[in-house]
Amino acid sequence: MTMTTTLAQEKASRPMRIGTLVQKYSTLAVLVVLFLAFSIGTDRFFTGTNLVNILQQISMLTIVAVGLTFGFAAKEMDLSVGYVVGLAGLLAPLLMVAGVPIPLSIVGALGAGLAVGLINSALVVGVGVPSLIATLAAGSILWGINFMISGGRAIYGGIPPEYLAVGQGKVAGILPYPALIMLVVVAASWFLMERTTFGRYLYAVGGNARAAELSGIKVRSYRVYGLALSSLFAAISGIILSARLGSGQPNGGETYLLDGLAAVFIGMTMLRPGTATVMGTFFGALLIGIMNNGLNLVGMDTYVQSIVKGIIIVIAVSVVSRTTKLKLL
Amino acid sequence: MSIVLENITKQWPGTLALDGVSIEIVEGRVHGIVGENGAGKTTLVSILSGAVQPTAGTLSMAGQPVAFENPAAAVANGVSLVSQEGSLVPHLTGAENICLGFEPVKSRFFINRREVQRQAEELAKQWFPETAIALNRKVDELPYADQKVIEILRALHSRPKVLILDEPTATLPAKEKQSLWTLIRQLSDAGMAVVLISHFLQEVVDLCDEITVLQDGRKVSHLSNAGHEVTERQLIDLMLNRGQTGNQHRLFDSALTERSLADDAEIVVDIKGWQGARFLMDGLEVRSGEIVGLIGLTGSGHFEFAQSLFEPRLATAGEYRFKSKDVGRASVRDMKRRGAALIPDHRMINAMIGDWTVRENMSMAGIQETSLKPFGVVQNGRERAETHRLIKRLNIKTSSAETKIVELSGGNKQKVSVAKWQFASEGKYKLFVFLEPTEGVDVGAKREIHDLIVSLAERGAAVIVASSDLLEIAHVADRVVAFRNGRDADQIARRDFSEAVFINAIAGVTQ
């Protein structure tokens, strides 16, 4: 019986392994194909300026998406990130316009983001509301708050130029600060998730909460960390956004939720299929960035871009769902 | 109409749930199916009711082969199931639940509510004339007993020829049990074939005309009980006895040499009046180096008690001292810190992360020990080295440390579950609690797991093993505590071990 069982299992697992291989690299292949196609299709794509430009364009999205990845790792979904981007992007300019020094304004905006994350996790971990619902409601509340504190108008005038440099300046005249911040955030997050016990425990909680608990892991705490980091990263993104735009926008950042989720889903098809990873998410954001940038350069309308993006998400999630149990709730 | 199952086999990935089981269910008779958890009862019921397809074997009704591709097909062929729990739609009324899926309509589209109510009432009057149930109320507002009646009426609505009752009395108070028993007799008198799955052996013995006993997916016995000649004790014997011969009173195979225990061995576990929702332990002391086996029928509380030694929050009252210190209602994390470890049952649910590799699963509880403080930077080299050491030491058969845990056999998964508590933690844990340590483990690996358990004790740990495999308990334990009805009932010393003594203790028969 033992022999037959083992043989049967081997037989079953072999084609799946090939499938996994195809899956692991198919997203990367799409990325390469897109890259080559745009390079050949338009001479404005493969230039140093444009490649740096892409990094700059995806920086805020990537930071939001990496934040979502922490939540996903613990099997929590955060639908409030878009509005947290907006909140932080409004708060920092508002504080500065009111005369608060730059560092304090930034800390205030980040603190507000973190506070949202903690309220979300109090609802999810403390009360037991599913994260999907708790953060959806939080998003709705934040949307209202954003319009309330801004009076529905953009906040500008009186923002110090040093602050604007965060979004508009460049290192050595080449690498924009947002791109630099993104690279630092990605590298630090990768290290945290892949090289520390923190990351291991966070994944354990998402992988099997009961097994994690019976192994002595603080399951509730890690669920809080996942949601808190998700909001904190969205706030970082919001600060860059307002510095880049030179103003605080009441409805800034709303698009980052969907694009961020898309980046995470695309990332889940790579590396460790079915699991959200930092590098996977980064590639996901890169794919979206290259696609948006390239389609723009070849003169495709934004609504077509939206359709293409939707199709890519469906394909990515279909690929993941076919081979792994993709459970989000 | 009778239904015949021939050589039914069901192979799940990694486990053989049913192994060539043949059963004949005859009209006008009540057929009891008994066995311990994991014996295959649930799988058998699922096959009979069309929820699961057998890997091999045939079903036939009235001599004609049939295949139930889904539950609807089974119902269409006259086989109805009353499942163990919660098959009702809570926000519909009793009558609506009874007619669910077979609603009478008017104008080809609209549900005829009056007719729904009428049909439900007629069924209720026919089968439960003495019970008054508000069929027009939402079922979640009704007591359990009424809900059970509605579940049964729903099964009867399709006028089945075969009715399967899976643990029908588990949630019922005594009086309602009585009326259910009456109903079962009426149904069989009316010519229906009734299949009764139950843990309550007394009711099986009282009600059934014939009884099939399952053990580890095999049919070990089929008894005729037309004159109620079968006893509860006889059933327990058949369910638990894993001996090769019929000699009930022989000693177990293993040489019953008693391990000597140092007089000054530390008392690791000290329990007084420790109780939870489903167990009560008057008193127990377990010393360092000692292995205590816990036995009992399913639901008798020994598993819950064992679990509570690692999860004290499961207890509601009593005293638990661990290494002379009061535990109170400590968390799992706290118990781990004090030196307690649990190797749980249902390992893929309670111990493992299926997506993870052998290495990741093995290091889950101890990775902080091989990581750089204070930020817990994982040292890949040390983690890998420790994994390889344990793979070699516990003789875990895996193609590599990076193989996914789901690809391992049951025995090797279980070894990883044990290795988890030795990962960079040799000697740290003073108590090991095992629940069903060889569940889904094949014979060869069983022995290795047993040796592993013994070696933990020899190296100074106190060990508690709760298992439904009596041979296993006899093999590893220094003494045994038998549970009955949620309480510790008997203590058995190793020199007195025999299958007969164990079964007597479980069944509550004193010699």
DSSP code string of B198-240: -S-HHHHHHH-SEEEEEETTEEEEEEE-TTS---HHHHHHHHH
Nearest-CA distance from B397 to chain A in Å? 12
Please report, rounded to a whole number, the percentage of residues in chain B having pLDDT higher than 90. 43
Q: Assess whether pLDDT exceeds 50 at residue B443.
A: yes
- Is A147 inside any structural domain? yes
Nearest-CA distance from B12 to chain A in Å? 9
Q: What is the pLDDT of residue B136?
A: 85
Domain at B267-507: CATH architecture: 3-Layer(aba) Sandwich (3.40)
* Both tokens assigned to B5: 């199952």
Inter-chain contacts counted by CB atoms under 8 A, chains A and B? 79
In tens, the pLDDT along B363-406 reads 999 999 989 888 899 999 999 999 999 999 999 988 899 999 98
- Is A26 inside any structural domain? no
Q: Assess whether pLDDT exceeds 70 at residue A11.
A: no
Look at the alpha carbons of A305, A311, A314, A318 in this order and tell me if their dihedral is positive or negative: negative
Q: Assess whether pLDDT exceeds 50 at residue B258.
A: yes
For the segment A262-285, the average pLDDT, to the nearest whole number, is 89
**B409 chain-A contacts, CB cut-off 8 A:** 2, 5-6
Nearest-CA distance from A75 to chain B in Å? 13
Domain with CATH 3.40.50.300 in chain B: 1-78+160-240, 267-507
Q: Which of A8, A215, A274 sits opposite B365 (nearest CB)?
A: A215
The bridge status of strand B64-66 relative to strand B56-61 is antiparallel
B14 part of contact set with chain A, CB < 8 Å: yes
Mark out chain A residues that contact chain B at CB-CB < 8 A: 1-2, 5-6, 8-9, 12-13, 195-198, 200, 204, 207-208, 210-218, 272, 274-275, 324
**A190 chain-B contacts, CB cut-off 8 A:** none
Q: Which of B342, B367, B378 sits opposite A214 (nearest CB)?
A: B342
Inter-chain touch A195–B377, beta carbons under 8 Å: yes
The bridge status of strand B340-343 relative to strand B431-435 is parallel
Q: Assess whether pLDDT exceeds 90 at residue B200.
A: no
pLDDT-wise least confident of B87-91, B421-425, B432-436? B87-91
Find out whether B25 and B31 touch, Cβ atoms under 8 Å: yes
The rounded distance, in Å, linking the Cα atoms of B54 and B52 is 7
Inter-chain touch A216–B355, beta carbons under 8 Å: no
Find out whether B417 and B343 touch, Cβ atoms under 8 Å: yes
- CA angle (B1, B6, B9) in 5-degree steps: 130
Map tokens 């009702």 to a residue: B88
Q: How many domains does chain A have?
A: 1
Find out whether B438 and B469 touch, Cβ atoms under 8 Å: yes
Exposure b/e, A252-268, CB count within 10 A at least 16 = b: bbbebbebbbbbbbbbb
In tens, the pLDDT along A204-253 reads 999 999 999 999 999 999 999 999 999 999 999 999 999 999 899 988 88
Nearest-CA distance from A217 to chain B in Å? 7
Q: Assess whether pLDDT exceeds 50 at residue A3.
A: no
For the segment A279-305, the average pLDDT, to the nearest whole number, is 89
Q: What is the pLDDT of residue A31?
A: 85
The rounded distance, in Å, linking the Cα atoms of B483 and B491 is 9
In tens, the pLDDT along A199-211 reads 999 999 999 999 9
The rounded distance, in Å, linking the Cα atoms of B492 and B494 is 7
ipTM (interface predicted TM): 0.85
Substitution target from B9, B10, B356 for chain A, most A beta carbons within 10 A: B356
Which range of residues forms the domain containing residue A104? Answer: 40-253
The rounded distance, in Å, linking the Cα atoms of B187 and B204 is 16
For the segment B18-43, the average pLDDT, to the nearest whole number, is 88
Inter-chain touch A196–B367, beta carbons under 8 Å: no
- Is A31 inside any structural domain? no
Taking the C-alpha atoms of B235, B240, B244 and B247 in order, what is their torsion angle to the nearest 10 degrees?
-60
pLDDT-wise least confident of A167-181, B282-296, B317-331, B495-509? B495-509
- Is A7 inside any structural domain? no
Please report, rounded to a whole number, the percentage of residues in chain A having pLDDT higher than 90. 58
Q: Helix crossing, B232-240 with B499-507: angle to 10°?
A: 130
Inter-chain touch B409–A216, beta carbons under 8 Å: no
The bridge status of strand B193-197 relative to strand B162-166 is parallel
pLDDT band of residue B243 (cuts 50, 70, 90) is low
* Both tokens assigned to B349: 């649910």
In tens, the pLDDT along B286-314 reads 999 999 999 998 778 999 999 999 999 99
**A208 chain-B contacts, CB cut-off 8 A:** 349, 352-354
Provide the mean pLDDT of chain A: 87
Q: What is the pLDDT of residue B337?
A: 94
DSSP string, B301-312: SHHHHHHHTT-G
- Is A247 inside any structural domain? yes
At the top level of CATH, the class of B1-78+160-240 is alpha beta
B110 part of contact set with chain A, CB < 8 Å: no
In tens, the pLDDT along A95-131 reads 999 989 999 999 999 999 999 999 999 999 999 999 9
B403 part of contact set with chain A, CB < 8 Å: no
Q: Assess whether pLDDT exceeds 90 at residue A34.
A: no
- Is A285 inside any structural domain? no
The rounded distance, in Å, linking the Cα atoms of A23 and B433 is 41
Substitution target from B310, B368, B378 for chain A, most A beta carbons within 10 A: B378
Q: Which residues make Cβ contacts (< 8 Å) with residue B225, sequence separation at least 6?
A: B32, B205, B208, B209, B210, B211
SS3 assignment, position A294: helix
The rounded distance, in Å, linking the Cα atoms of A181 and A196 is 21
Inter-chain touch A9–B337, beta carbons under 8 Å: no
- Is A75 inside any structural domain? yes
Nearest-CA distance from A322 to chain B in Å? 15
Edge-to-edge strand ranges of the sheet holding B15-25: B15-25, B3-12, B56-61, B64-66
- Is A306 inside any structural domain? no
User: What is the widest separation between alpha-carbon atoms in chain B?
Assistant: 85
Nearest to B207 by CA among B237, B179, B233, B228: B228
The rounded distance, in Å, linking the Cα atoms of A101 and A83 is 24
Q: Which of B14, B354, B367 sits opposite A197 (nearest CB)?
A: B367
In tens, the pLDDT along A41-71 reads 888 899 988 999 999 999 999 999 999 999 9
Substitution target from B355, B371, B409 for chain A, most A beta carbons within 10 A: B355
